Amino acid sequence: MNAESIRKLFAQVRARELSPDDAVAQLRHLPFEDLGFAKIDHHRALRAGMPEVIFSQGKTPAQVARIFKQLAQHGKNVLATRATGAQFQAVKKAVRGAKFEDAARAIVLRRDRVCYGKGLITVVSAGTSDIPVAEEAVITAQLMGNQVERLYDVGVAGIHRLLAHRKAISRSRVVIVCAGMEGALPSVVGGLIGVPVIAVPTSVGYGAAFQGIAALLGMMNSCASNVSVVNIDNGFGAGYVASVINRL
Amino acid sequence: MNAESIRKLFAQVRARELSPDDAVAQLRHLPFEDLGFAKIDHHRALRAGMPEVIFSQGKTPAQVARIFKQLAQHGKNVLATRATGAQFQAVKKAVRGAKFEDAARAIVLRRDRVCYGKGLITVVSAGTSDIPVAEEAVITAQLMGNQVERLYDVGVAGIHRLLAHRKAISRSRVVIVCAGMEGALPSVVGGLIGVPVIAVPTSVGYGAAFQGIAALLGMMNSCASNVSVVNIDNGFGAGYVASVINRL
Amino acid sequence: MNAESIRKLFAQVRARELSPDDAVAQLRHLPFEDLGFAKIDHHRALRAGMPEVIFSQGKTPAQVARIFKQLAQHGKNVLATRATGAQFQAVKKAVRGAKFEDAARAIVLRRDRVCYGKGLITVVSAGTSDIPVAEEAVITAQLMGNQVERLYDVGVAGIHRLLAHRKAISRSRVVIVCAGMEGALPSVVGGLIGVPVIAVPTSVGYGAAFQGIAALLGMMNSCASNVSVVNIDNGFGAGYVASVINRL
Amino acid sequence: MNAESIRKLFAQVRARELSPDDAVAQLRHLPFEDLGFAKIDHHRALRAGMPEVIFSQGKTPAQVARIFKQLAQHGKNVLATRATGAQFQAVKKAVRGAKFEDAARAIVLRRDRVCYGKGLITVVSAGTSDIPVAEEAVITAQLMGNQVERLYDVGVAGIHRLLAHRKAISRSRVVIVCAGMEGALPSVVGGLIGVPVIAVPTSVGYGAAFQGIAALLGMMNSCASNVSVVNIDNGFGAGYVASVINRL
Amino acid sequence: MNAESIRKLFAQVRARELSPDDAVAQLRHLPFEDLGFAKIDHHRALRAGMPEVIFSQGKTPAQVARIFKQLAQHGKNVLATRATGAQFQAVKKAVRGAKFEDAARAIVLRRDRVCYGKGLITVVSAGTSDIPVAEEAVITAQLMGNQVERLYDVGVAGIHRLLAHRKAISRSRVVIVCAGMEGALPSVVGGLIGVPVIAVPTSVGYGAAFQGIAALLGMMNSCASNVSVVNIDNGFGAGYVASVINRL
Amino acid sequence: MNAESIRKLFAQVRARELSPDDAVAQLRHLPFEDLGFAKIDHHRALRAGMPEVIFSQGKTPAQVARIFKQLAQHGKNVLATRATGAQFQAVKKAVRGAKFEDAARAIVLRRDRVCYGKGLITVVSAGTSDIPVAEEAVITAQLMGNQVERLYDVGVAGIHRLLAHRKAISRSRVVIVCAGMEGALPSVVGGLIGVPVIAVPTSVGYGAAFQGIAALLGMMNSCASNVSVVNIDNGFGAGYVASVINRL
Amino acid sequence: MNAESIRKLFAQVRARELSPDDAVAQLRHLPFEDLGFAKIDHHRALRAGMPEVIFSQGKTPAQVARIFKQLAQHGKNVLATRATGAQFQAVKKAVRGAKFEDAARAIVLRRDRVCYGKGLITVVSAGTSDIPVAEEAVITAQLMGNQVERLYDVGVAGIHRLLAHRKAISRSRVVIVCAGMEGALPSVVGGLIGVPVIAVPTSVGYGAAFQGIAALLGMMNSCASNVSVVNIDNGFGAGYVASVINRL
Amino acid sequence: MNAESIRKLFAQVRARELSPDDAVAQLRHLPFEDLGFAKIDHHRALRAGMPEVIFSQGKTPAQVARIFKQLAQHGKNVLATRATGAQFQAVKKAVRGAKFEDAARAIVLRRDRVCYGKGLITVVSAGTSDIPVAEEAVITAQLMGNQVERLYDVGVAGIHRLLAHRKAISRSRVVIVCAGMEGALPSVVGGLIGVPVIAVPTSVGYGAAFQGIAALLGMMNSCASNVSVVNIDNGFGAGYVASVINRL
């Protein structure tokens, strides 16, 4: 045990086998990892209310189930993203209470229902094809203790649909905007409100959409200054960033 | 002379030195270029009202002036795009009546003032930095005989500015939209109206704008179906396409 | 109900509980969405003769059938693009009169046979592999009420094939050109005629064709000024833009 | 005047020339822009404490001075980013009290010294070459009423320098991280703390750094979930997003 | 019939109903396509010894068989590239004498065994994975009447293998070099000999090979001046270009 | 036989049928390949302890088994990378003693157990998904006669995990670092130690990770100067380079 | 001297100090470079009529002059490409007879006027801006002893200009085609003739032309099979390849 | 002072004011940076013989001189890369003994002449234009205490030049290979020897060389397994990596 070697130092000082100066000198040469666990403690406190997360894509149902079961023992919420029905079948057998959120392609286990967020998070999507990514953001934010509202299918080519819900958006403390194709929606939303907008490019579209690159570039170049961006299709990341902001 | 060889064939037929059938057979083997000039005539008719155009970038003032003078002899409108003040000084000495359109970086000579366009062309720009490209489109469309209106600085991050002019846009027969950065404006404009929208990506922006690529991709992936796209910064092309449509 | 709050304002004015000036002031603060439905009406008028459209790719047969049935109730033409045989089997059971256009990979329901287009739209393709995209353009333009002619397999490496049909092209009011590989055909066609050319890059080719990027870049850089471009493989978009132009 | 037409409606209702129902019906058909100014008011409120901003790059000293003077009349803070010494000389003559922030390449006019931010914003930079971008973020956040601390030259290749300041970072409510080359710093910082991290890729580096693309991609793919990204070299955007978050 | 209208002209001239000059004038206005068939004749002569070619990829066995049968009626060699065993089974039933070249993934029908090439074509490949592309080049060149030799697996990381066959290469009139990965072999081969080298990048490799782009760029930048390049994996194109050169 | 022609020369000199000078002259004109085998010998010496290697991807089980068997006759270690279970089944039947390293996706035959490496090679991975690539590096280095240690799942977002093992890393003579996503780990590791670091970008990640390009660019731009890079997912290459260094 | 060590071997054999077998064995271990000079001789022969070439770009006038003078001593033609007027001034002082080819940006010294080429090389350019690259090809081919003809400004958007010169092109033994923008011209030219076409993409164009990439991709994907491609703006390479072909 | 707080802990334990267990608990909560300096010591030892380095590009002469002077006080070798003559003039005035290495574009101050390297480092370059990068590698390796040899202008298109020096290369313990254009040289060199090869892509070339990307990709895909790669034009990095290896 690491702490042991330090405790021993103190014992030697106490027993006057070692002067305080020599002890400091020795401490300097103790390998770094002897104090490493402090960081973990610190981290643990910092992560209160953060769910345990599994990225399921490319894992076998058995692997997902095994990791899910192990994480479930920590007593926190558990979230498996990019999950399939088959993976859920395996998890369900291993962990009571796990549920499949079909639209979000996510398996969730809800233990901690504390509300950590101070306001409303609204998740906006441009088209119906962006919904899986948007739902991943919704589930993530909910599991992290936030009140979440959805506003879907309000893309910029029919700008009146978005404007008709402007009041709803204005009530939000953080807004997540998911859009593929040209990725223009975050700029328009960002111009309507004064709170942070988290933009998620989606890989929706074809041809020169290039699996989300067009949307990503569009969002990086947003002319609205309150917009920042996460990775393509990264609904989880958007939900996480929004939750971290909403706790402030 | 090419026509000569054909005339000779007819003369031989007339003189009965050759039967019509043999003449047809010989004609088949005449090289193609003997009839080539016909195409030029045909082309000329088709191009009524089209200006003579010089792409000035990378040319010396003397070169621009020499070409401008030569083209001015055809009696049509002349347009030199991407021109500098120095190039204009050279042209002014060579051709009376040439004017410099500062905002459009263009030298123009207006001879033909016939109105070829059937309706209004509106040129919309997202930001003030897009104006040089927008003005190139305006000048091109005017020189090709169209009534043109400008609607500048109506980018999507302040969507109310655009909406406040919706009625003005609705009166147009063709709309040109110039935008850099995320290139989202054509989608919004396209969704508001039912006429053709010509989108021009501009190289405005920095970082991941990549000299107009972000805007270009955004426009290629526009979710409004009445949008088609021309090359980056190609205000001339947009004005030309719009004029061709407006003559229909 | 939104209109209710406005009607109440008028009632108060009528009852002299409110002066017109105060009413105007209050109206200014009414949320925007109270008037939103007006836009929808306006939009509806504008879209006369436009088909209802489903992008079928990535949807299950059941999903396509359900959406198709719902849209069919509007009494307009319905078009499902990128459809498979299996999707058609599901639609056929749900909607009488739906037909499968094999070459265009489209399911169509034709209700409105009004001719909205004023002239001929010609769809040109470079190779036989471009035909699915070209056919998508053809079906779209037909469903939007246009007379359409096809001119296929006239790529630039055998330029005489194209030239042999120049008269046919010259009769068109709008021309759509679909080409993969180097995407050179729109420039050649654009140089032969004086009407708008809508270029569609296709993902035909291999190696450095990069799924249509080579063709897209080629078309963006067309040296013919009457050419504008839509997204890779976007036959629907080309048909739509051409139809919008042909109604002018 | 737009409001006039609405006032007239109310007057007619009051005079009983029009029933409330008919007035509502007429109102629906009034053009949208008649109410547009309301939006501007709304926007104005929302933007309290936001500075007026000029992107100076590519503008002449005279242009910058003219716009700066005009904006200075609104009584708010004014910020000109990407400014040169020559531009500042011009501004200084036009506007009393304007100062040049050399390291940030910014001209500022400080009027509003209200503290809008609720906590500390720390701006971290990887190398000394990232400092201009970092300083732009610092100045922006300060002008928007935030307390800001700097932590510079703590790149990942000497990880102990960063770790030595971990406590300082932990006190922050929002952290901005500027890094070029491989753009790895935001991931490391994000892993150390639980608050939002705004990552700014800089165009520092050479060869395969590709003017900031390597850093941008690195940050988009950050393995720390509390990181979101703004455009390359966009210190202003990072300062703005951080300020918006810090007001929550 | 087109020729008819021309014959009529001649008849009118002969009957003196038309002067030769007027006939020429009329001829100018005859549509181009009336003479178009001449080009086809010309083309046919030019293509003596060129095989009929089918690009089989993406076609059904039935389609390949039908086209193959049709082309086989011209009495020339027929070549179907990128063919599968299933496609060959279909062709075999339709066309006697068709053979499957397994290594080249090609179906061939050899009718014309004239030797058109004046010298030897050597096909060099860097690795064993490049062989399918190399064999496509071999078969193409053989079908076009050339003597072909193979030199495989002589990549640059074992330069002695290549040097050991230098004399063999030196006997060639044209050399085709197929290489994936870094695409360095054509430069080395080009430096050893004084005849034309046709370089074919192959999509062999992984990671940053990017499906042949690395090899393509390498070959475009070859420091040997006698190298020109065809498309990625385009063994057919290389064989064709080499054959055209070898007939000179 | 090549050597024969040279031996004949010597015999002629010995028999005084040829002067030494003439023999030298003749030797100059002997084809190069007559001496080529010397190189192979030389090469063989140089490659002592290097395994025979098969890149199995894209090969049939039968092909892998046949090549494996053939190489196994040289008496050296044999390594088949990117192998599947099916390929191993085929190899197992053909070669006694072949084993499947599941985690590394490799088939190995260990004959030579000499320790060629002078120190320890440590293989570090950022995440669990990088393990297949890391294991390929481990197996390669082991087969080439090195002592290898693993240090997995120590990515930069939890920097304490890495620091806790700093002493372990410090004992290494060469370090291999495998990382996907932003590829930041090699920079951090490189900054902690003074020995060579071989960085391997992996194709782990999604969205803007672009199959390893983000990681590759990150590593190319590493701010630690003791880092060099091999191809994406190229665990074999990393193991090979590290082994070559560790023999010095 | 290398040959010395071999001669010594023969002397020892002659003196019977060494058996032929031992001599062969020793020869095998002689370093490779002892025979290296033979290659140089061989190469020299092979390069008869090839000019000495300097790539002047980025060199000082003094450097160009010094290298030019040195190469001029070999008695062959000398060609300095990408040269400036200043570089020529320096060369002119150092080498009598050197001339500046303005349009080709080349300095030439013509010594060898032998005609090595067997037929005509025609250099075709799409636009006037492609002429510098085309002229570099012309000068290169002329210096390498070929008869060259120019055919400029025959781009595909005015296809009749090209067709009018078809007969001229048909007389050529090799054709070089220079084109920027969409790079379509080589496909059209390739389709008209049966001889090899060397395509040169030029960096002419703007926006999405990407300094010649659009043209390069277009040419790589040419649908004419007799086309191969050299690097962007590489007129020298095209002239060299064409010359090498024309000597066959 | 940080150590102070720790010493205080020991003093309290010694004075029995604190039990060893409580002291350990308190230590855990001491901020990390209290031990940070230990790391710096460790680092310092590790870096014996490493030069102090300045990347001069983009810095003013005064800045370079100031930093150079400051670093010179550490008593180690100092290296300023990418330096200009003007920067050297400033340094020379500030630091006695500083010298300008023209070919390497570097300013050096040599203090430590200990030989740290165990063998020879050879720096190979493909063309004369690669020499500045190669020289940067040479100077770096020399300053880090290595014996270095140069082998320049041995590109793959004249493979005999390289082969003629094979014995020289074979004596090396590490080889650095600098090459632009297609970047093929490292593969060939790597195949000739059994020691580590550090490849440096250079930005030499034009057109599709893309400022070194073609060379970078070529080297990443090297078919020689003993090759690893550093950033484009990064001669310093190559010299550093080679030095670190050569000390092992």
pLDDT digits (tens, 9 = 90+) for B48-66: 678 889 888 888 899 899 9
Whether G185 has a pLDDT exceeding 60, the answer reads yes
* Whole-number average pLDDT of chain B: 85
pLDDT at residue H87 greater than cutoff 90: yes
The closest CB to that of E245, out of G118, G240, G245, belongs to G245
Whole-model pTM: value is 0.82
Q: Which amino acid is at F164?
A: A
pLDDT of residue B25: 65
pLDDT digits (tens, 9 = 90+) for G155-171: 888 888 888 888 889 89
Would you place residue C3 in the very low, low, confident or very high pLDDT band (cuts 50, 70, 90)? low
Q: What is the pLDDT of residue H199?
A: 96
Q: Identify the chains in contact with D, defined as 3+ C-beta pairs within 8 A.
A: A, B, C, F, H
d(CA C2, CA E26): 71
CB contact under 8 A, H10 and A13: yes
Between H33 and A21, whose confidence is greater? Answer: A21
Interface of A with B (CB under 8 A): 126-127, 155-159, 163, 180-184, 187-188, 190-192, 205, 207-210, 213-215, 217-224
% residues pLDDT > 90 (chain A): 52
Distance (Å, whole) CA B205 – CA A222: 10
**What integer best gives the mean pLDDT of chain C?**
85
Minimal Cα–Cα distance from E16 to chain G, Å? 31
DSSP per residue over A23-45, as a string? HHHHHHHS-GGGGHHHHHHHHHH
Task: Report the pLDDT averaged over residues H99-103.
Answer: 95
- Asked if H248 and F195 come within 8 Å (Cβ–Cβ), the reply is yes
Are E245 and G248 within 8 A, CB to CB?
yes
Phi, psi of A27 (to 5 degrees): -60, -40
Read off the pLDDT of residues E81-111 as tens digits, 9 standing for 90 and up: 999 999 999 999 999 999 999 999 999 999 9
Please answer yes or no on whether A232 and F208 come within 8 Å at the CB atom. Answer: yes
B232-248 average pLDDT score: 95
pLDDT-derived band at E47 (thresholds 50, 70, 90) equals low
Residues sharing a CB contact under 8 Å with residue G232, sequence separation 6 or more, in sequence order: E220, G200, G201, G202, G203, G211, G212, G213, G215, G216, H206, H207, H208
Q: What is the pLDDT of residue E38?
A: 31
- Give the whole-angstrom CA distance, residue E129 versus residue E152: 10
Do G208 and C221 make contact, defined as CB atoms within 8 angstroms? yes
With tokens 């198709």, the residue in question is C68
User: What was the pLDDT predicted at E85?
Assistant: 95
Residue G53 CB-half CA count within 13 A:
21
- Chain pair G-H, CB pairs under 8 angstroms: 38
Contact D195 A248 (CB under 8 A): yes
Query: What is the band of E18 on the pLDDT scale with cuts at 50, 70, 90?
Result: confident
Chain A: touching chains (3 or more CB pairs < 8 Å): B, C, D, F, H
| Contact check, Cβ <8 Å, H164/G36 | yes
Interface test with D, best of B160, B211, B233 (most D CBs within 10 A): B160
* Cα–Cα distance for residue pair G119/G247, rounded to 1 Å: 8
- Quote the pLDDT of residue A134: 96
Candidate from F166, F207, F209 with C-beta closest to A32? F166
Tell me how many residue pairs between chain A and chain B have CB atoms under 8 A apart: 121
Residue of F nearest to G11 (CA): F20
Residue H169 has pLDDT above 50, yes or no: yes
Q: What is the DSSP letter of D95?
A: S
Predicted pLDDT at G15: 86
Give per-residue pLDDT as tens, F55-111. 888 888 998 999 999 989 888 899 999 999 999 999 999 999 999 999 999 999 999
Q: How many CA atoms lie within 13 A of A44 on its CB side?
A: 9
Q: Give the whole-angstrom CA distance, residue E27 versus residue E105.
A: 50
Q: Which string of DSSP letters, residue by residue, matches chain E?
A: -HHHHHHHHHHHHHTTSS-HHHHHHHHHHS-GGGGHHHHHHHHHHHTTTPPEEEE-TT--HHHHHHHHHHHHTTSS-EEEES--HHHHHHHHHHSTT-EEETTTTEEEE--------SSEEEEEESSGGGHHHHHHHHHHHHHTT-EEEEE-S--GGGHHHHHTTHHHHHT-SEEEEEE-TT--HHHHHHHH-SS-EEEEE-----GGGGGGHHHHHHHHT-SSTTEEE--TT-HHHHHHHHHHHHT-
- Would you say H174 and H242 are in contact if contact means Cβ atoms under 8 Å apart? yes
Residue of D nearest to H33 (CA): D164
| Helix, strand, coil fractions of chain A, as percent rounded to 5 | 50, 15, 35
Return the pLDDT at C45.
39
Residue E129: list chain F partners with CB under 8 A: 58
| B39, pLDDT greater than 50 | no
> What per-residue confidence (pLDDT) applies to H14?
85
Q: What is the pLDDT of residue C59?
A: 86
Q: H103 or H23, which is more confident? A: H103
Residues of chain D with pLDDT under 50: 1-2, 29-46
What 3-state class would DSSP assign to B151?
A: strand
Query: Is the separation of the CB atoms in F232 and E207 below 8 Å?
Result: yes
**Maximum average pLDDT range among B203-212, F79-88, F183-192:** F79-88
For an interface test with G, the pick among H166, H182, H206 (most G C-beta atoms closer than 10 Å) comes out as H206
Query: With an 8 Å Cβ cutoff, are H157 and E187 in contact?
Result: yes
Please indicate whether, in this complex, the C-beta atoms of C160 and E39 are within 8 angstroms of each other. yes
What pLDDT was estimated at residue F158? 81
User: pLDDT-based confidence at E157, cuts 50/70/90?
Assistant: confident
Q: Do G229 and E229 touch (CB under 8 A)?
A: yes
Please judge whether G207 and B232 are an interchain contact, meaning their C-beta atoms are less than 8 angstroms apart.
Answer: yes
What pLDDT shows up at residue H40? 33
Residue located via tokens 């499968």: C100
> How many interface pairs between C and D have CB atoms less than 8 angstroms apart?
55
Instruction: Assess contact for A162 and A188: CB atoms under 8 A.
Output: yes
Q: How far is H20 from chain A (nearest CA, A)?
A: 5
| Least confident window among B82-96, B146-160, H93-107 | B146-160
> Which of E159, E187, E213 faces H182 most closely, judged by CB atoms?
E187
How far is A201 from chain C, CA to nearest CA, in Å? 18
Chain C partners (3+ C-beta pairs within 8 A): A, B, D, E, G
Query: Worst-scoring range by mean pLDDT, B44-48, F214-218, G225-229?
Result: B44-48
Cβ pair C241:B226 closer than 8 A: yes
What tens digit of pLDDT does each residue of E184-239 get? 899 999 988 989 999 999 998 777 778 888 899 989 988 899 999 999 999 999 99
pLDDT value at F186 more than 80: yes
CB hemisphere CA count around C185 (13 angstroms): 34
Is D221 in Cβ contact with F181 (below 8 Å)? yes
Mean pLDDT of G204-224: 85
Q: Which of A163, A166, A207 sits opposite C231 (nearest CB)?
A: A207
Chains touching F (3+ CB pairs < 8 Å): A, D, E, G, H
CB–CB of G231 and H207 under 8 A? yes
At residue H18, the pLDDT reads 83
Residue E119: the pLDDT is 95
CB spacing of D214 vs F218 below 8 angstroms: yes
User: In F, which residues are within 8 Å of D187 by CB distance?
Assistant: 155-157, 182, 184
Contact criterion met (CB < 8 Å) for A35 and H28: yes
B142 band by pLDDT with thresholds 50, 70 and 90: very high
pLDDT grade for C15, boundaries at 50, 70 and 90: confident
What pLDDT does E12 receive? Answer: 85
pLDDT band at A35 (very low <50, low <70, confident <90, very high): very low
Predicted confidence at residue E159, as pLDDT, reads 84
Nearest-Cα residue of chain E relative to residue F216: E208
Q: Could you tell me what percent of chain C has a pLDDT over 70?
A: 88
Q: Are there at least 3 beta-carbon pairs closer than 8 Å between H and F?
A: yes
